[in-house]
Chains A and B, each alone.
Chain A
Amino acid sequence: MTEPTNDRIHKVLDGDLDADDLSPAEQREMTRVASASTEAATHLGRLRSPGLAGAVMNEIERRTGVSPDSTGTRGSWVRALWAPRTVAFRPAWGLLAAAVIAALILVPSGESPPAPTSDAEGVTVFVQFRLHAPDASEVRLAGTFTDWEPVHELHPVGDGAWSVMVPMHPGIHDYAFIVDGTDWTLDPTAPRVDDGFGGENSRLALLLVNGARES
């Protein structure tokens, strides 16, 4: 159906050849091709998304349970709670470290005695998962926090180690690594629990300390 354009013309349009190297006939054809492409690109460029910023932020709010648009004293603190932080926390550090991190996040300095928080979903902590798998070509993470879908891809960080940072809410989370798509692997640094099907999962406990407060 389509008559192929002289490849030299496409090279000029791609910046791989100078237009001065084209013959006058080629230059006329190039103008036709460029004109049609520009018309099409301009036409497509008028397509606009329906405006999704509000929907995205609402979905984030729904998942975290706290609005990023809250205002006022409480709102600003809630917003600070809601904000994810790049805290390099390892599951192997266990409950104590989790409690310390939660306390660091939740207890503001110099504030009057605050009321206890009841909304653990409003806290997001970035947890670093790490596995030594020097022979792997791909490592993923799945757990109760992903409905066991291997959505988190670990990245090689040198010396055979793979790592990923995952935003998580406080709670008890079971998980496993999936090496090269098929090999479900436990975290050697984490406690193991019965998965109810004759196997085991790794377990991470991210718990808020009793003294955690919001202002």
Chain B
Amino acid sequence: MDAVPSDAEIVADVLAGRTERFALLVERHEDALFRHALSLGMDPDGAADMVQDAMVRAWESLAECRDPTRFRLWVGRILRNRCLDHLKSASTRYTTSLDGANDGAFEATGIPTPELDTQERALHASLDEALAALPDDQSEAFVLKHVEGYGYGEIAELTGASVSALKMRVHRARDTIRALLEADGFGPT
């Protein structure tokens, strides 16, 4: 069985003419990019559009990817810039609130949960509520750190924020999530 090719190997293949292999990069990174777009405040349809657009732009400028071993960081930056540009325009915000009580990026994850029992459904509802309470910058930092597994240095490169600021965002996100889950009875007994 062939070894799984690295991003850098696939980029080299694409630039050498095996363009169809670019689909492998899309398949490998689209879920993470999709979650990143959601964490920035995009709605699911908009997030999908942004991921598609970012990957096409990545293909168009693939020769400019100076370090293909860090393709995911590079395409993540493209996605982030596209999302922020999009969100700057009026009326594109998925979740809005005048009182600030629900100004987070995630309104609801919409994850189907047909197989879950009542207790698990309640937990998921509580998680949705906690994630919706996070401001965008905390949502993004939490997702990149704890879901996608980026190091703080990589997140700093991706977002332009300092490592200390990012740690503060993640710390606050953890605190909010813990507090809201425990307020709903989902804590240690």
Q: Which residues of A contact B (CB under 8 A)?
A: 1-5, 7, 10, 13-14, 28, 31-33, 35-41, 43-57, 59-60, 63, 68-69, 79-80, 82-86, 126, 152-153, 155, 164-167
Give me 4 other A-B pairs in contact (C-beta within 8 A), A10-B174, A13-B174, A47-B31 excluded.
A32-B182, A52-B51, A59-B56, A155-B64
CA distance A165 to B66 in the complex (A): 11
What residues of chain B have their CB less than 8 Å away from a CB belonging to chain A? Answer: 14-20, 22-23, 26-27, 30-31, 33-35, 38, 48, 51-52, 55-56, 59-64, 66, 106, 109, 111, 123-124, 127-128, 130-131, 142-143, 146-147, 152, 167, 170-172, 174-179, 181-182, 186-188
Contact residue among B19, B56, B182, B187 (Cβ-Cβ distance under 8 Å from A83) = B19
Known contacts A32-B188, A35-B188, A36-B174; is-contact A44 B143 (Cβ 8 Å):
yes
Q: Are A50 and B48 in contact (CB under 8 A)?
A: yes
A84 to B152, CA, bound (A): 35
A33 touches B175 (CB 8 A): yes
- Contact partner, A165, options B20, B31, B64, B178, Cβ 8 Å: B64
Q: Are B61 and A152 in contact (CB under 8 A)?
A: yes
Given A57-B23, A59-B56 in contact, is the A40-B187 Cβ separation under 8 Å? no
Distance between A190 CB and nearest chain B CB, rounded to angstroms: 20
Query: Is there an interface contact between A5 and B64, defined as CB atoms closer than 8 Å?
Result: no
**Is the beta-carbon distance between B109 and A43 smaller than 8 angstroms?**
yes
Cα(A109)–Cα(B106), bound, Å = 56
- Ordered by A's residue number, 9 sampled pairs between the chains whose C-beta atoms are within 8 Å are A1-B176, A4-B171, A5-B171, A37-B177, A44-B131, A47-B35, A56-B22, A82-B19, A84-B14
Q: Is the CB of B109 within 8 A of A39?
A: no
Which residue of A is nearest B188, CB measured? A32
Q: Which residue of B lies closest to A46 (CB)?
A: B111
